[in-house]
């Protein structure tokens, strides 16, 4: 799992919070993501399945894509598709992914890069591995997170942020046993590069076998921990978690987790995506690629898409190499 790596001994340390000063968040639930296939066939885990919208707010949906080793000729992508009313955050850990949207955004993201797309009022989008990876095959592993937009920003013009892995803020835990990559928002005063309408914190933590991670966490945010790889425990209650499981934490000003001393051979560390955000607390109507406040707004989005008002596929478009 390359993402971005660094020697934790040389990085700024995040001091372990005193639970007396910043109450430790309890673990409310641990759920297992069901496996599914996206678009024309890349394997995904639906990370938030079975978790109430109120516990996820401001997050809507998350897929862990792969980890998969593609044979030559096998990689799949999505066809052109619309979005409205939210932001997609695509974080590539291994492999390469190309993006293009009808608003002029697009590019290639690889090992540790993030593509941040504010769909806002609406656009058309395609995401797929590049042609040379289709020819050669290879490893692919990433995450796509959907962050909701509040009513006031749902019709914001589309926006695109291309974040390179080296731009993430790199930190170490108090004991040096965990590498922390701050992709968006801030952790202990260290800001990552991603900018959102709704304040969030997104951190990829690599926890060494046997290491324990204790972090301050904004008390106004929710707190989710999704296990990308490895085995460990969450909370001071040390509830077991493994790859493909999501822990939802309750209220408090700090959280803890730990990596088991022994890890699977193919997954030497506990890899965790930590997510927190300011809840929007508005009605959520989610239908396919649209996330709005009311059913009428969903119907309007479908009508606007069919009428071409969410944009048109650019003339200089990325060739579509899926199975259609
Ligand atoms: Mn998309």
- Predicted local confidence at residue 62, as pLDDT: 97
- Evaluate whether residue 250 is within a structural domain: yes
- Predicted local confidence at residue 323, as pLDDT: 38
287 alpha carbon – ligand 1 mean position (Å) = 14
Domain that holds residue 136: 8-306
- Evaluate whether residue 320 is within a structural domain: no
Residue 151 CA neighbour count, 13 Å, CB half: 8
- Predicted local confidence at residue 39, as pLDDT: 63
- Evaluate whether residue 318 is within a structural domain: no
Name residues whose C-beta falls within 8 Å of residue 27's C-beta, 6 or more positions apart in sequence: 234, 235, 237, 239, 247, 248, 249, 250
**83 marked among binding-site residues:** yes
Q: How many CB atoms lie within 10 A of CB 50?
A: 11
What would the pLDDT profile of 30-78 be if each residue is shown by its tens digit? 999 998 876 656 788 999 999 999 999 999 999 999 888 888 888 778 8
What would the pLDDT profile of 81-109 be if each residue is shown by its tens digit? 999 999 999 999 998 888 888 988 888 88
- Predicted local confidence at residue 40, as pLDDT: 59
- Evaluate whether residue 86 is within a structural domain: yes
Paired residues of 100 in beta bridges: 106, 126
Name residues whose C-beta falls within 8 Å of residue 138's C-beta, 6 or more positions apart in sequence: 69, 70, 75, 95
- Predicted local confidence at residue 133, as pLDDT: 78
- Evaluate whether residue 313 is within a structural domain: no
Coarse DSSP helix, strand, coil percentages of the chain, rounded to the nearest 5 percent: 10, 45, 45
What would the pLDDT profile of 187-203 be if each residue is shown by its tens digit? 999 999 988 888 999 99
Instruction: Sort strands 169-173 and 13-14 into parallel, antiparallel or unpaired.
Output: parallel
236 alpha carbon – ligand 1 mean position (Å) = 37
- Predicted local confidence at residue 41, as pLDDT: 63
54 alpha carbon – ligand 1 mean position (Å) = 23
- Evaluate whether residue 109 is within a structural domain: yes
**81 marked among binding-site residues:** yes
CATH code of residue 97: 2.60.120.10
Positions in the chain whose pLDDT score sits under 50: 321-324
- Evaluate whether residue 191 is within a structural domain: yes
CA distance 67 to 61: 18
**125 marked among binding-site residues:** yes
Q: Which of 224, 167, 221 is nearest to 199 (CA)?
A: 221
- Predicted local confidence at residue 318, as pLDDT: 61
- Predicted local confidence at residue 128, as pLDDT: 83
Q: Which of 224, 277, 281, 215 is nearest to 249 (CA)?
A: 224
126 alpha carbon – ligand 1 mean position (Å) = 6
Tokens read off for 239? 């509830």
Cis before 58 (ω within 30):
yes
CA distance 207 to 246: 16
117 alpha carbon – ligand 1 mean position (Å) = 9
Are the C-beta atoms of 137 and 170 separated by less than 8 Å?
no
- Predicted local confidence at residue 138, as pLDDT: 83
Instruction: Sort strands 13-14 and 123-128 into parallel, antiparallel or unpaired.
Output: unpaired
Are the C-beta atoms of 294 and 287 separated by less than 8 Å?
no
Supply the DSSP string of 188-239, one letter for each residue.
Answer: TTEEPSB--SS-EEEEEEEEPTT-EEEEE--TTS-EEEEEEESEEEETTTTE
CA–CA distance from 11 to each of 1, 35, 212, 292, 293 (Å)? 20, 36, 17, 41, 42
Q: Coil, helix or strand for 287?
A: strand
40 alpha carbon – ligand 1 mean position (Å) = 13
Q: How many domains does the chain have?
A: 1
Name residues whose C-beta falls within 8 Å of residue 216's C-beta, 6 or more positions apart in sequence: 14, 17, 22, 187, 188, 253, 254
**127 marked among binding-site residues:** yes
Are the C-beta atoms of 204 and 213 separated by less than 8 Å?
no
């Amino acid at each position: 799992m390359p993402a971005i790596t660094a020697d934790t001994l040389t990085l700024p340390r995040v001091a372990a919070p005193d639970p007396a000063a910043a109450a430790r968040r309890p673990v409310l639930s641990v759920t297992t993501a069901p496996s599914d296939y996206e678009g024309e066939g890349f394997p995904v885990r639906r990370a938030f399945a079975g978790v109430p919208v109120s516990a996820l707010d401001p997050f809507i949906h998350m897929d862990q894509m792969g980890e998969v080793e593609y044979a030559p000729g096998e990689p799949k992508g999505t066809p052109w598709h619309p979005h409205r009313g939210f932001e997609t955050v695509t974080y590539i850990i291994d492999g390469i992914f190309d993006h293009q949207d009808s608003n002029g955004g697009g590019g290639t993201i690889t090992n540790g890069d993030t593509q941040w797309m504010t769909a806002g009022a609406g656009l058309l989008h395609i995401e797929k591995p590049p042609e040379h990876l289709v020819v050669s095959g290879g490893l692919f592993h990433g995450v796509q997170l959907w962050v909701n937009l509040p009513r006031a920003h749902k019709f914001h013009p589309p926006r695109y942020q291309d974040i390179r892995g080296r731009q993430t803020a790199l930190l170490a835990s108090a004991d040096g046993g965990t590498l922390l990559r701050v992709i968006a928002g801030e952790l202990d005063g260290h800001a990552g590069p991603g900018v959102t309408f709704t304040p969030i914190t997104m951190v990829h933590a690599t926890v060494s076998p046997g290491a324990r991670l204790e972090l301050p966490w904004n008390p106004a945010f929710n707190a989710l921990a999704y296990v990308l790889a490895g085995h460990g425990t969450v909370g001071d209650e040390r509830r077991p978690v493994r790859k493909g499981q999501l822990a939802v934490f309750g209220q408090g000003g700090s959280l803890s987790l730990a990596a088991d001393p022994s890890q699977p051979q193919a997954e030497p560390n506990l890899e965790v995506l930590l997510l927190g955000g300011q809840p929007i607390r508005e009605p959520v109507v989610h239908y396919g690629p649209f996330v709005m406040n009311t059913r009428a707004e969903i119907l309007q989005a479908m009508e606007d898409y069919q009428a071409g008002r969410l944009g048109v596929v650019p003339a200089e478009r990325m060739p579509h190499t899926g199975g259609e």
